[in-house]
Amino acid sequence: MATANLSNLSNLTSIEEYLSTTYRPDVDYVDGEIEQRNLGEFDHADLQTQISNILRNEQKAWGVRVVVETRVRVSPTRVRIPDVCVLSASLPRERIVTHPPLLCVEVLSPRDTLKSMRKRVQDFFGMGVKDTWIFDPETRIAHVCTASGTAEHKSGTLRVAGTKIKLSIEEVFSTLDA
């Protein structure tokens, strides 16, 4: 498998080349173009780890699999990498996820905006994902995105309808105070 230096990338890359290349850090693929992801800062990583740990602790009881930073092929020409992805345990195990996850979770980095996340969320919806949650470590707000809109939550428990998946907002953000 090839490893790419992002500064040497040409404007367009084939999906086959993208899927057979290792990028460090990994990148999204959108219609032939490589898109860097903002990550690598402590609060982002801390929150991502907290969310994945809470969800992974319930995998067996909820009948799900929880993975972090996994390539999700949202369309024939797009691959997104959500910070945390929750899949039905009944789905086949895939090197690149092609079946719609039950939930995609994103954590905002300081350079991310909700507006910039909109394209990612729309790609998840286009694939068939019903819920995407966006956590902002700076404001300590969770944004729940569904096809019908986006709602802000500062407290309480987030749930994915029709599943056992739930997450306490207070428990997620508590890691930032530890």
4 pLDDT above the threshold of 60: no
64 pLDDT above the threshold of 80: yes
The single-letter code of the amino acid at 168 is S
164 pLDDT above the threshold of 50: yes
- Residue-level pLDDT at 7: 46
Report the chain's mean pLDDT, rounded to a whole number: 92
> Domain 38-177 is of which CATH architecture?
Alpha-Beta Complex (3.90)
- Residue-level pLDDT at 47: 96
- Residue-level pLDDT at 129: 97
- Residue-level pLDDT at 169: 98
Domain range annotation of the chain? 1-36, 38-177
112 pLDDT above the threshold of 50: yes
- The model's pTM is 0.89
Average pLDDT over residues 154-161: 97
Cα distances (Å, whole numbers) of residue 130 to 85, 116, 136: 12, 19, 20
Q: What is d(CA 173, CA 178) in angstroms, rounded to the nearest whole number?
A: 10
pLDDT tier at 41, thresholds 50, 70, 90: confident
CA angle 16, 97, 34 (to 5 degrees): 45
Q: What is d(CA 120, CA 82) in angstroms, rounded to the nearest whole number?
A: 9
